Structure 1
Amino acid sequence: MIERVLDGRYKLQEQIGGGGMADVYKAEDMLLHRPVAVKILHEQFKQDREFIEKFQREAQAAARLSHPNIVNIYDVGIADGDHYIVMEYVPGRTLKDKIRQEGHLEPREALKVAREIAEALAHAHANNLVHCDIKPHNILMMADGHVKVADFGIARAVTESTMTYSGNVVGSVHYFSPEQAKGTMITPKSDVYSLGVVLYEMLTGKLPFTGETPVSIAMKHLQDDPVPVRQLDPAIPPVVEAIVTRAMSKDPAARPSSSEFVQDVQQAERMLLAGDASLEAQEEDPYATRVMPRVQEPLLSRRGAREKDPYYEEETAHDRSVFKSKKFIAGLVFILMLGFFVGAFMSYGKFWSAAEIEVPNVVGKQMTLARQILEDKKLRVNVAETYDADVPAGEVVSQTPEAGSRVKEERLVTIYVSKGGEELEMPDVQGLSKRDAEAKLQKMGLKLASVYEKYSDEPAGTVIGQDPRAGAKLKKGQSVDITISKGKESKKVRVPNVTGGTLEAAEASIKANGLTVGSITKKASRQTSGTIISQSPSGGEAEEGASVDLVVAEEEKAGSSKGGKKDPAKTQPDERVPVRQGDAAKSR
């Protein structure tokens, strides 16, 4: 892509980012002479109508917005089948890069960044648009310290439902709201929750919820409360912690709107600027008066009490042994019965109940939705995870018991949720032959999709390009495109007719046409010495650089024939040849 010019206007200079749907390049607008950012849809999605619609939706959504904290959209188009969006170029780094490099931000700086993000969201929400993917990776840090919100790729109108029973959850799992995890209606307050997560990370340098899989993280958004920020850093003012806690409420109704979030932050900034003591973390006075719980005297152990009893010595070792044996046996029987009861209940449900339930089919549904469907049927749910490249992460691959089975209520149903394909690192296959590259990909569990051909200086059949690029993260079973060399591009040129001319002129004409002079053979001929008698090839077209062989005339030697034998007739004097007078007198 580098050095390519889109629509004769945007010259791509370097790749500066990318994601699962598109790559972003820095480019030069050759018409207006300014730097721009160009987002180009990935090759494998060019024929996918759904991805093209998402891509075009981003341009349409962002084009409706005009705000100093939102990246501007300049142009959108298609060049040689590649869908692209031209955006404002923001030099610098992302908020995620800043957090990684600095560990965390001071409260005042974190509040300033959060306020500008909230102001951008308030503008988008006023235009009935929800971003749906607020995260530090999509926040661009400008040189003057201000921020710009980018990537409206999965934005939705606030009147739309982002998920039905057959739909998909959208968003980034570490930052999305509980309603996004459930796959229910997304509102502007979903963006506020994500902003609360971003503020949490700015203040502490840590994410509120982490896990080994996307499903486990989504469950924490639904069920768990994050560790309070002041527990991680006591220097954070209480009022700032309150802003984070309110924004990350599980119930959307308890969260502020984006404009209310702006007001909360502004008030906290004013208090912090005024040095309000309520903002600062208070050190606990170890000598302060406080209410303490009653301390109870520890009871003597039964063993200790019995050891102080004079009658204890009269108890024989035999009595103790019998007593302990009977207790042990009784306890063992109780534990076995309890285990049997629990196992039966877990496996078969309320076996004493006559109510039977038909197990619904939840295969292909999102995990949270599948759980809800099963629990509504009075069934218990166990979630297990499995790799499956053919099923999107978070969707149910299979279930036990199978759909349609009739079971007791409270029966345990295990759903196997896809973790997507196993994560791999894209190998470097450039320089390999097509056969070797395909074998390497298959060995890693990857699929070879499209194979493109391109002229290059590399030998024909050599891999000269790949998508995804080497080192990129991808899932097992994912498709990979490669580009192989067709060898040097052959160019046809006209072969000039140089017969009848001189050798010097012939050589000049041949070289002028991009050809080379091959072998030069001399041949006896009645033509003038040095004249071109014949050539090979004699005309038409040939590949550039091909050689042209020449046959050059050479003067015949006297008394020689074509075959090189002497003619006997010519050995005798020709009577018709005139004789000089002196010679005639001598003969007489």
Structure 2
Amino acid sequence: MIGKILGNRYEIVEKIAQGGMSTVYKALDTKLNRYDAVKVLKEEFTSNREILDRFKQEANAVAFLSHPNIVNIYNVGSEDNIHYIVMEYVRGKTLKQVIREKGKLTNDEILDYSMQIGRALECAHNNNIIHRDIKPHNIMITGDNLVKVTDFGIAKHSDSNTITHSGKIIGSAHYFSPEQARGNLTDRRSDIYSLGIVMFEMATGAVPFDAESPITIALKHMQEEIKAPKTINPLLSEGINSVIIKATAKDPIARYQKIEELLVDLRTVRAGENIESAAVFGGETQVMSAVKPKRDPMEDDIFDDEKPMGKNKTVLIVGLVMVVFLTLGAILGQFVFGGGTKNPTTVVDENTKVPAISGMLKENAEDMLVDAGLVMQIGSMENSDLPEGTVLRSFPGEGESVKKGSTVQVVLSAGQVKLKVPDVLNMTLESAETLLANNNFIKGAVTEEYSETVPQGQVISQEPLAMTDMPKGSPVNIVVSKGPEIQISKVPNLVSLSETEAKNLLESVKLVLGTVTKQPTGDKKLDGSIKSQEIPENTEVKQGSKVNVTIYEYREVLIGDFSGLTVAAYESELESLGLKVVLAGDTLRTDNVVDVNPNVGRSVPYGSTVQILGEPESEEPIPEPTAAPTTQP
């Protein structure tokens, strides 16, 4: 597959993962010039219509879901018997890899990851999608600890009537729920059970049940109680331990009924408050027959269609007939011995309905329950926007028929809780939104500003500030960087202006006066004015750019002594001082200087003309030799 281009667009670059029914590749989207992940159904399954339909269902199930914790689906296609789904490429590790590397995760890590997984499930469940294969292998963790739930390949709409028409169950044996193992109907609570198993593994570093075959593992899920994870990891908080126990209850009724309820408890644990205590196959997704465990004879076996009746059926029928006769006899006796009244005495109805007490204060709700012949029991307290002591809900629920004297458990409001606003500075907007949500805050107004220091797309500032105590659910306003602002200005004409005038003019167009070079001049009128500018007038430059200039500076030059100098030497000296030199009369550069005009010792303006008078060096006569005197002998 490496090098193959799918859909004339997706170039397969490398293989990055392999599951039970598909292989995932990294691919380059040649149109958008970005990397995507492409899931390809394994060739041995392409002729299996049921699996093929399920593979295509993944794209349909997730395509309309939009959530930071769910991997985005971009495209789906088929060609040359290759069936593929194009999805978001997530840089990171699977949660399974993280657990293998770290073993037991910390309480903070368990809470953070569980809440993000829960929010992904909340989005799916609110759109009537049940994942049915929640496991660490299907959960990606990015470099900044953002969770991405993937692999909705066996997801179903929660209003579907059956799992499959073939009586098979699909999932990963280590993580699926008891009802999933039996092949029964699954609902949102099945995902909650699987999340509980994932949390157990994060807390202990291992799954609760393991065996050599998926069937044996399934039976353990159905028949064996899960060991409290805190007995394996003493550092695990009591709150997380309770959440895991409740989420993994065998009976779906005993679990959290909605993922929102689990999230509420996780947030309560994170806030440091107490909650009510809850009484591989390589991890690959498996397809196998539903497990039907052998039952021990129990009273409710009357509902087991597979058990033969025999004598028990006869005994049951005889018993039912006797009950009928006794009941009729009692009614007849009451009619005969009750004074011959035409109507028998009315039997007192010992049932009553749970009154509507939600929204009432505890005292008022308790009075109403007592009047209905019921007893109030406080089950737990939850933070809410309602005043402290207000009834949030009851179990049994309002309007349900119960026997008089029954206990009604109520959940009371603990009032509004204030939480500390998390720090989202320098995060991407997506990561900031996820962190806020996981800390029970919402994203407020989002504005954009240019920044020279914060990269584009990252948070510059937030309001309220980090660590501010704010009510749960408060919005946090965010300012996101647009990167450095590039604005253009035209360079103005600075010639003849003073240095101060030039500086002010440049600042008015958001430019800066750069290096100032001095240029000597002998004209006092030019002193302090700009002679030239390095960047020409009307040139377009980035705002903040520097413009270098040259400024006139009035100077006078002192005419120095010329004694012993030739005209050429003196001329060079004067020109180096910025003076102009002319030679008087027939003066040659080889002559000696005899005079200068202006005179030596005078100061003249820079650039003034000086006249040099020179004369050839005088030649002295050579004396004639005299004859030496002679001596006469």
Give the structure-2-normalised TM-score: 0.44
Q: Looking at secondary structure, tell me which structure has more helix per residue.
A: 1
Give the structure-1-normalised TM-score: 0.48
